[in-house]
Structure 1
Amino acid sequence: MDVMLGYSKDGLFMRVYYPTEETVSIETNHASWIPIIPDADYIKGLSTVTMLPSFFLNLAWNYSGHTRIPAVYGAKARVTDKLNCIIFSHGLGALRSFYSSICVELASRGYLVAVLEHRDQSSCHTYYFESEAAAKANQKTSIEFKHKKLGNGHFELRKEQVHYRMGEVCKALDFFLALNGGEVPHNVITDVPTRREIKFELSDLVGKIDVESLSVGGHSFGGATALLALSRREEFKQGILLDPWMYPIKEEHLDSKVTKPLIFVNTYTFHIVNNVKAMEPYLTGEKTRRMFTILNSTHESQTDSVFLVGYWLNWFMKKIDPQVATNINNYLILRFLKGQTKNKENIDDCVIYLRDNDRHFSEGLTKPWA
């Protein structure tokens, strides 16, 4: 379910994944699925990010059959047990729906995952509504992606953005803490006309969030955002860092400020010298901090794009099957979370899968790729 808080840019926009009370098989209930790409504005935004003509992206989008997320949109939440909550920050040029292959798996295991769509111009595209009337008329105020070339001002922009993003993560944390305590804000998305039946109510989550095991995570730019948030808020108990882009936080010296358990899951092509050296201080002498690298994977392996258009980075490299890469990525996360949270899900299948596929990943600070 999409959740938007407040009629201004200063509010929040996120996609929330959660276990539901649905009894109909999700695999056969295709009518309830929604496209990974929300609408044409996001295609234009992705065109801006990739600097490819939107014509080509529209072709790819049409060829992929408007690929949909295999989950029921707006279903009633299942809250028989308290939910372990994960706040997730997307990468540069991404959007709230681009990590469904991770989030659907986590939600199916009993986790509540909230993926922010950041409003610092690092999302490929996003929007807000200026009033209730604007929402009911579906009149969006757009926020577009901002390009910045390497060189003068690049680091300063990324530093400014990572702090803005961290602020949004902290707002989301405050929202879930308050919601668990009984403060139920209005979800602006429910103002927007839709033909879908929406059973999801924020009020159903009151008292149903395990605030003692809150997690923060992110991919790439989002990984840096998560580390910065971990250094600022004690309520976060662990961090999930997927190919974290350490450059925007290189002046923060966070290794002495981040004291919680961490998992780093790197892809093969992003396991590079400067980035790995920046991660190394976070791993020294800590048994609850581990790093893994998925062999023959690329930076896109931790997003949905590989299932939409196939691999398009590092064309001449032999690559791992994308489903295998996704399974390894997700099962490493699940095994880590099982050790840190009170989640009751049996993860024996994860352990078996990792054991049978350990040739596809390596642990520790192996020699960075040049």
Structure 2
Amino acid sequence: MSNGIEPKHLPKATGPFVPGMIDVSTDYGEEGLLMRLYYPTNEKKNDPKQWMTWLPENSYLRGLANVTAIPYYFLRSAIWWYENLTLTGHYYIPSLYGKKIRTDDKLKCIIISHGLGSCRFLYSAVCYDLASYGYLVICLEHKDRSACFTYYYATKEDAQKDKKTEIHFKHVPLGKNHYTERNQQIKIKANECSKAIDFVLQLNKGTAPANVLDEVVTKYTIDFDLKDLTGKIDVDSLTIMGHSFGAATAIYTAALRSEIKQCIAMDPWMFPIKDENLHEKVKQPILFVNTYTFHLEANVKSMAKFLTIDRKDEMYTILNSTHETQTDTVFILGYWLNWFMRKIDPTIGLRINNYIILEFLNRHTLFPKNVEEQKAYLDKEKHNYMSGLTKPWA
């Protein structure tokens, strides 16, 4: 980031506020939550000196290789490629790490659950874009072994030495126990989402836990303080959101917690909750934002149970998109699913996804107050998405 030249980065946020972000761990040991908070700041300039690399450490690269079952020699090549990329610069997240949060107005809050083999930063472009409109967005990194990699610090001394206790991704084989194991993971993930809801409620009341990660040495200047959020969160309008496995988790969590007022499911993988009859239990409105190639007939049938006149849930499909369209990887590695299909430009796909979400939130929470620009964009791109039940891919 020298000579005044911006490093390679994800698309910048489209909202009126410069976004910030901070990693938070609420306690020592495995029971503590590890999450990334994205939020608006009062900064006038999105200074690249305060940006963080998209990939915080190679352990996550190894984890992603484990998820995709890449052979070791391919993994070594991937790590070599990534390390040598530093000659021209890492990919960066255009969000100010550790800057003070804007609390001029009460913040609407969105809690996000990640998908299978993902982590807390894989949806950065979605999260900081929503934060730039004034949202506090909390992306969890789950410890049910569905994350590509995660960790915790067992003690204060471990944090000061940056000695991580690692948790690695677990492959669950297909077969008669597949549903049982995935359903058990959903319940662990939903419990962590529930703990995140409690974290927000207590934080708003003035009970701010110490951030374990404050003990870890960092090169960034940290002006962020959890205590600044006391009385500054709109706890009457909480949103739960997720992608894929995390979208199923969001729907499941909505059935458990009445504090959740609306649910956003991006490309939900319905298999782990197929026997839960959640269409009868979830009272909150659900927005489904789906991609074009992910949904097989069984998944569509599970989602169709929610699209009734009584429920009035909404569903949209981004055309010529794949499951990766709602993640950051499409900007960094390009499309790698459905190679021979014509793909939507990833920035257009991101904007459609985020603007559908913002329009939904405007209707249900009256925030953002004005979404005319987003509506105009969606009208211009109406040939790239459709409303109604997603069609099965195969």
* Residues in 1 aligned to 2:392 and 2:62: alpha-carbon distance in whole angstroms: 35
Identity of aligned residues (%): 49
Whether 2:229 is the aligned partner of 1:208: answer: no
Partner of 2:18 in structure 1?
A: none
Find the residue that maps to 2:293 and give its secondary structure: helix
Find the residue that maps to 1:18 and give its secondary structure: strand
Paired residues of 2:290 and 2:390 also in contact (CA < 8 A): no
Residues 168-177 or 46-55, more deviating: 46-55
Where do 4+ consecutive residues of structure 1 move more than 6 Å? none
Pairs within 5 Å for 1:275-314:
275-286=299-310, 288-314=312-338
1:194-216 deviations in whole A, cap 9, x for unaligned? 12100000000000000111000
Deviation at 1:93, TM superposition (A): 0.3
Deviation at 1:11, TM superposition (A): 1.1
Q: What is the letter of the counterpart of residue 355 of structure 2?
A: Y
1:109-160 deviations in whole A, cap 9, x for unaligned? 0011000000010000000000111111111100000112211322221111
Gaps of 5+ in 2: 1-21
Q: For the structure 1 residues 172 and 195, does the alpha-carbon distance in structure 2 shift closer, same or farther, using more than 3 Å as the test?
A: same
Q: What is the letter of the counterpart of residue 27 of structure 2?
A: G
Gaps of 5+ in 1: none
Deviation at 1:60, TM superposition (A): 5.4
Partner of 1:51 in structure 2?
A: 69
Partner of 1:11 in structure 2?
A: 32
Whether 2:191 is the aligned partner of 1:180: answer: no
Q: What is the letter of the counterpart of residue 29 of structure 2?
A: S
* Residues in 2 aligned to 1:346 and 1:261: alpha-carbon distance in whole angstroms: 21
Partner of 1:233 in structure 2?
A: 257
* Residues in 2 aligned to 1:107 and 1:32: alpha-carbon distance in whole angstroms: 17
Question: How many aligned positions are there?
Answer: 367
Q: For the structure 1 residues 9 and 301, does the alpha-carbon distance in structure 2 shift closer, same or farther, using more than 3 Å as the test?
A: same
Q: For the structure 1 residues 151 and 60, does the alpha-carbon distance in structure 2 shift closer, same or farther, using more than 3 Å as the test?
A: farther
RMSD: 1.3
Partner of 2:16 in structure 1?
A: none
Paired residues of 1:283 and 1:290 also in contact (CA < 8 A): yes
Question: TM-score, with normalisation over the residues of structure 1?
Answer: 0.97
* Residues in 2 aligned to 1:286 and 1:300: alpha-carbon distance in whole angstroms: 32
Q: What is the letter of the counterpart of residue 318 of structure 2?
A: I
Whether 2:121 is the aligned partner of 1:97: answer: yes
Paired residues of 1:19 and 1:110 also in contact (CA < 8 A): yes
Q: For the structure 1 residues 313 and 343, does the alpha-carbon distance in structure 2 shift closer, same or farther, using more than 3 Å as the test?
A: same
Q: What is the letter of the counterpart of residue 44 of structure 1?
A: R
Find the residue that maps to 1:282 and give its secondary structure: coil
Whether 2:157 is the aligned partner of 1:133: answer: yes
Q: For the structure 1 residues 56 and 289, does the alpha-carbon distance in structure 2 shift closer, same or farther, using more than 3 Å as the test?
A: farther
* Residues in 2 aligned to 1:232 and 1:363: alpha-carbon distance in whole angstroms: 28
Pairs within 5 Å for 1:240-279:
240-279=264-303
Q: For the structure 1 residues 286 and 200, does the alpha-carbon distance in structure 2 shift closer, same or farther, using more than 3 Å as the test?
A: farther
Deviation at 1:50, TM superposition (A): 1.1
Q: For the structure 1 residues 72 and 57, does the alpha-carbon distance in structure 2 shift closer, same or farther, using more than 3 Å as the test?
A: same
* Residues in 2 aligned to 1:155 and 1:287: alpha-carbon distance in whole angstroms: 27
* Residues in 1 aligned to 2:345 and 2:275: alpha-carbon distance in whole angstroms: 37
Partner of 1:32 in structure 2?
A: 50
* Residues in 2 aligned to 1:318 and 1:273: alpha-carbon distance in whole angstroms: 22
* Residues in 2 aligned to 1:344 and 1:226: alpha-carbon distance in whole angstroms: 22
Pairs within 5 Å for 1:40-79:
40-52=58-70, 53-58=74-79, 61=82, 62-63=84-85, 65-79=89-103
Whether 2:183 is the aligned partner of 1:162: answer: no
Question: TM-score, with normalisation over the residues of structure 2?
Answer: 0.91
Paired residues of 1:162 and 1:248 also in contact (CA < 8 A): yes
